[in-house]
Chains A and B, each alone.
Chain A
Amino acid sequence: MTTIRCDIVSAEAEIYHGEATLVIATGEQGELGIAPRHAPLITRLKPGHVEVIQENGERESFYVSGGILEVQPQVVTVLADTAARADDLDEAAALAAKEEAEKALADRSDEIEVAEAQARLAEAMAQLQALERMRRNLKH
């Protein structure tokens, strides 16, 4: 029987790697059964099970909370998300990141004071040095 290579990975772990006679997954537009020599396909996955049927008839089942399924003539790749993701959640995260930066910018008052003080100190030191030099010249 012909087989197709199947890789299931997530960003934080390698989940499955081996040969399969059939891979079943929940695509965005319905259940998919990928047999060897399937046409190239790429789709988003819905949260659900990915089932791998191995050569000896054994079934392995994994839960994924979403991700990408890609089919190439020789290989099926499942790129699983590590956590539940949704567009509005991403949006919220983006807003949070923006707010954090704004806070950091608003918060720079103390830093500026320090920088200003340092600048004044440097200036004062330069003046002192100049005075010192003048005094030495007068003595001579």
Chain B
Amino acid sequence: MASGREIKTKIKSTQNMRKVTRALEMVSASKIRKAQERMRVSRPYARMMRQVIAHVAGATSEFKHPFLVERETVSRVGYIIVSTDRGLCGGLNANLFRKTLAEIRDWQSRGVEVDMVLIGQKAVQFFRRLKSVNLLGSTTHLGEKPRVEQLVGVVTLMLKAFSEGKLDRVKLGYNDFVNTMVQQPRLEALLPLPVAADEIIAEQGERGEGDTVLAVNMKREHDWDYIYEPEPEVVLEFVLNRYIESLVYQAALENLASEHAARMVAMKSASDNANKVIDELTLIYNKARQAAITQEISEIVGGAAAV
């Protein structure tokens, strides 16, 4: 059995660890509220943007923007993956990466090549090791307040590749914040828009709310058109770029809230485990102490009897 001193140092170090995990847990608990608030204020923009896009996609314009046209063959797909910069958040990133990797392997088995842009340190660390995918760009260290400008670079890279015909599909991967206990890794189609609309309808059925109504609207033919100022090409390009940006921005916010939630839960269970270990060690320590005392007494008694 280990000596009293050894057990005592073990207890001390576990207590120190518990201090750290508790602190991390509390930091995340306070940050999660701010992250949720940020998600909330950005929603109206995203909602209005979707409405405008549904109108735009519904208008019968003579000009068809490449983002609105589904291509028949898919030879290259692009992935935008949103991850965290820091670890210690349970399986959050790992779940998303596993899901993404499965899809990538699926594409590759059908001879489709994969391009990626990455947001967040963890995704960069994970995907740069894969030799079979082509890394187009990355951005890291978004911080607690992601700004749209930080994401413009990577989004522009993807959209340019799509417009030039280098990519036939673009998908977005992130962790959806359902609630504090549940975060869902999601891979959504971004471009072309009809594919994205099909996906939403497939997921929620035609009778869903919000997104679904817009998606159904997007698929229908309408008999009106906008007055475009200036040309339709220019305006549509601009509007669609902003739309994709807003989706990626929203994903970054969702992911941030998910990160804090996951970290909070992971750190809570770490603290609980530390408590359990400390309790066990304390019990062992006390037993060892008692055994030592008993032994001492019996030695004294034995010694006295021998005299």
Q: With the chains together, A83 CA to B245 CA distance in Å?
A: 13
Residue-wise, chain A 70-112 has the 8 Å CB interface mask toward B (1 for contact) of: 1010000101011101000111011111101100110010010
Q: With the chains together, A41 CA to B49 CA distance in Å?
A: 15
Q: Given A90-B152, A94-B156, A101 and B137 touching (CB < 8 A)?
A: yes
Q: Is the CB of A29 within 8 A of B230?
A: yes
Q: In the complex, which residues 263-300 of chain B have their Cβ closer than 8 Å to any Cβ of chain A?
A: none
Q: Given A68-B238, A77-B51, A97 and B139 touching (CB < 8 A)?
A: yes
Q: Is the CB of B45 within 8 A of A79?
A: yes
Residues in B whose Cβ lies below 8 Å from that of A14: 41, 44-45
Residue-wise, chain A 1-19 has the 8 Å CB interface mask toward B (1 for contact) of: 0000001011111100000
Residues in B whose Cβ lies below 8 Å from that of A67: 242
Q: In the complex, which residues 19-64 of chain A have their Cβ closer than 8 Å to any Cβ of chain B?
A: 27-29, 39-44
Residue of A nearest to B235 (CB): A42
In whole Å, how far is B147's beta carbon from the nearest beta carbon of chain A?
Answer: 7
Q: With the chains together, A10 CA to B145 CA distance in Å?
A: 15
Say whether B165 faces chain A, with CB atoms less than 8 Å apart.
Answer: no
Is chain A's binding surface mostly helix, strand, loop or mixed? mixed
Say whether B224 faces chain A, with CB atoms less than 8 Å apart.
Answer: yes
Residues of A in contact with B, size category:
35 or more
The 8 tightest CB contacts between A and B, nearest first, are: A97-B153, A93-B153, A97-B137, A43-B229, A94-B156, A101-B138, A41-B227, A9-B45
Q: A12-B147, A77-B52, A97-B117 are in contact. List 15 more A-B contacts (CB 8 A).
A: A12-B148, A40-B227, A44-B229, A44-B238, A83-B147, A90-B152, A94-B137, A94-B157, A98-B136, A98-B157, A101-B117, A101-B135, A104-B135, A108-B128, A111-B129
Residues of B at under 8 Å CB distance from A? 38, 41-42, 44-46, 48-49, 51-52, 55-56, 59, 117-118, 124-125, 128-129, 135-140, 147-149, 152-154, 156-157, 160, 224-230, 234-235, 238-239, 242, 246, 249
A-B contact pairs, 16 of them (CB 8 A): A11-B42, A12-B45, A13-B41, A14-B41, A42-B235, A68-B238, A77-B48, A81-B242, A82-B148, A83-B148, A91-B156, A93-B156, A101-B136, A105-B128, A108-B128, A111-B125
Residues of A at under 8 Å CB distance from B? 7, 9-14, 27-29, 39-44, 67-68, 70, 72, 77, 79, 81-83, 85, 89-91, 93-98, 100-101, 104-105, 108, 111, 115
